[in-house]
Chain A
Amino acid sequence: MESLSQTIRPGAVNFKSGIPNNNFIEEVLLCANLKLLAMQLTLEFGGGLELLCNSLKIHKVNVDPQDGEKLTMKHLLAWVRTNLIKERPEMFMKGDSVRPGVLVLINDCDWELSEQLDTVLEEDDVVVFISTLHGG
């Protein structure tokens, strides 16, 4: 899997032959751009949290990594609060985390199974914020 991902990574050099890929130049440029480009993520809000962001459930967003390299959940939450939450931010956050009763799912897994606030996000990750329901 690792070797596969290396062969498709932009700017990769075929070290076996020692000859750069045909598109070497373009890929080097692309690679340089990628560092500056924001990370594309899909954010979903459910269980009523969507009401805090214009009643839109799915948001395709581009978020700048904080130090130009990695993007953590902590940074993403702050970004969401500033950029997506339109009203009653206290219904979404408490301190620098989500309020009690909100589940955070990164690629369909509870963030308690990763590093919660310290989880490092990757390109195309899907992050779901869902408020627990009590009705019946």
Chain B
Amino acid sequence: MPVYMSTVRTLMEPNGNGLMADEESKICSEIESLEAEKAQIDLRISALRAQLNSCNSNSNSVRKEESDVTNSGDLRPTGVSSNGQLSADMVYRYSRHLLLPSFGVEAQANLLTSSVLVIGAGGLGSPALLYLTACGVGRVGIVDHDVVELNNLQRQIIHNEANIGRSKVESAAAACRAINSTVQIVEHKEAFRTSNALEIMSKYDIVIDATDNVPSRYMINDCCVVLGKPLISGAALGLEGQLTVYNYNGGPCYRCLFPTPPPTTACQRCSDSGVLGVVPGVIGCLQALEAIKVAAAVGEPLSGRMLLLDALSARIRVVKIRGRSLQCEACGENATMTAQQFRYFDYEKFTQSPLSTSPLKLNLLPEDARITSEEYNERVVKGEAHVLVDVRPAHHCKIVSLPNSINIPLGSLEGRLSEISASLEREGGNKSVDASQGASLYVICRRGNDSQRAVEYLHKMGFTSAKDIIGGLESWAHDVDPKFPTY
């Protein structure tokens, strides 16, 4: 039983009228079951289309053989005849491209025979995939190992509510096929690893890095260098985005710019720092644009330059970055990065951070300095005199917090110890507990890492009874109050 009064402001108050509520829940459950059916049908259609495509490509592969040298795969440009003429359907579908004097038939034909691998079907990958498919890239590959979650949908616009819990690759592939069934969509439902990277990437002309972590970025870069593929690299966090093209036309690679990985403390993630959905959306669109330029051989791709987007101030600057470095360990003069070396390179060790985005789990404290959220709940129910300090940043506490907790962000703990002493004294006095015992002190945060850091510090500063609530508010929501919002 949750002991706190609901301080949570919910968006929808339940309808007070019992009959209406009954009706509502009936409708909701019918919608739910219909959505599930629909999603099943969509996935089946998507799978059948993929099957149809592979049938077509087998019958077309003979014709393709002479035209594609860099590609070991069987690229099936339906609607392009051997002399480069577009079919009537293709002319109509891509007419707005063909009308562009600076693009035209030639660039469109280049697109139709090109292939792009998108690694990551998240915030960046979503718009990139939609545009690449719509514009008629011959083959689009999607790599991701994750499943769709509700908190993805604010930015990962290729997925929808009906596909929550399903593989992101399946969900994205179905959306792509619904837009353009003439594009060959290849599903790679696996994590991109050194063990499968070379094999997957070798089947594509251009690579889009739409991942969200440091080791993946180094790994994708090195794989592109080894295989000689241009890399369209995008990143977004908070209200900022960055974009550039690596390993293209003599330009630098990722390692030329960043030979040494950043300290892990400098690697913020969207799940910790937040991101405004449209920001990766903008960068993902720009990634599609750069891929299209490279594939169609038009314009000036963003190589040797970097685009920096500051969404809050509506500023975009394009800066000139260094050229290829002769000392680069991946692409320099004495570079040792070969396919063989790549396969055995430990990217997690190199960057000191995990490839998967699972949150950090610290274990700093002895067992007697920690209690579970259930234990804490029991103590509160018993009426134990205590002070609960929430060490999350203030804007986190505005999302949701436990009642009667005092918010003292970890960063300002040092200067606010007197507040804790005062609260302890007040609580101890109020509940007329054994004076020698006094009120107890608990510390909580979102996941239970910062609370351990705080308790460690509090112990040093003489608050020796301070205890950390294991797993933070996430465990409270999981083990004590399932209705408590998580974020």
Residues of A within 8 A of B (CB): 46-48, 57, 87-88, 90-91, 99-103, 105, 108-110, 112-113, 128, 130-136
Residues on A with C-beta less than 8 A from B234 are: 136
Q: Is the CB of A134 within 8 A of B308?
A: no
Residues on A with C-beta less than 8 A from B268 are: 48, 134-135
Residues on B with C-beta less than 8 A from A90 are: 263
Knowing that A113-B320, A133-B242 touch, tell me 10 more A-B residue pairs with CB under 8 angstroms.
A46-B308, A100-B258, A108-B318, A110-B321, A128-B317, A133-B235, A135-B235, A135-B237, A135-B273, A136-B123
Does any Cβ of A come within 8 Å of B364's Cβ? no
Alpha-carbon distance A48/B272, docked complex (angstroms): 13
The chain A residue with its CB closest to the CB of B284 is A136
Q: Knowing A105-B319, A110-B319, A112-B322 are in contact, say whether A134-B313 is a contact too (CB < 8 A).
A: no
Q: Is the CB of B319 within 8 A of A134?
A: no
Q: Is the CB of B320 within 8 A of A136?
A: no
Alpha-carbon distance A136/B266, docked complex (angstroms): 16
Alpha-carbon distance A133/B257, docked complex (angstroms): 13
Residues on B with C-beta less than 8 A from A101 are: 258, 260-263, 266
Q: How large is the interface on B (under 10, 10 to 19, 20 to 34, 35 or more residues)?
A: 35 or more
Residues of B within 8 A of A (CB): 120, 122-125, 210-214, 217, 234-238, 240-242, 257-263, 265-270, 273, 275, 280, 306, 308, 310, 313, 317-322, 411
Q: Is the CB of A46 within 8 A of B240?
A: yes
Least Cβ–Cβ distance between B31 and chain A, in angstroms: 32
Q: How many A-B residue pairs have CB under 8 A?
A: 103
Alpha-carbon distance A46/B259, docked complex (angstroms): 20
Least Cβ–Cβ distance between A130 and chain B, in angstroms: 6
Residues on A with C-beta less than 8 A from B313 are: 57
Least Cβ–Cβ distance between B178 and chain A, in angstroms: 24
Q: Is the CB of B411 within 8 A of A87?
A: yes
Q: Is the CB of B212 within 8 A of A47?
A: no
Q: Is the CB of B319 within 8 A of A136?
A: no
Q: Is the CB of B214 within 8 A of A133?
A: no
Residues on B with C-beta less than 8 A from A105 are: 319
The chain B residue with its CB closest to the CB of A94 is B263
Q: Is the CB of A136 within 8 A of B236?
A: yes
Residues on B with C-beta less than 8 A from A113 are: 320, 322
Residues on A with C-beta less than 8 A from B280 are: 135-136
Q: Is the CB of B258 within 8 A of A132?
A: yes
Least Cβ–Cβ distance between B234 and chain A, in angstroms: 7
Residues on A with C-beta less than 8 A from B261 are: 100-101
Residues on B with C-beta less than 8 A from A100 are: 258-263
Can you report 10 A-B residue pairs in the complex whose CB atoms are below 8 A from each other? A48-B238, A91-B263, A103-B257, A108-B320, A110-B320, A134-B212, A134-B267, A135-B212, A135-B280, A136-B236
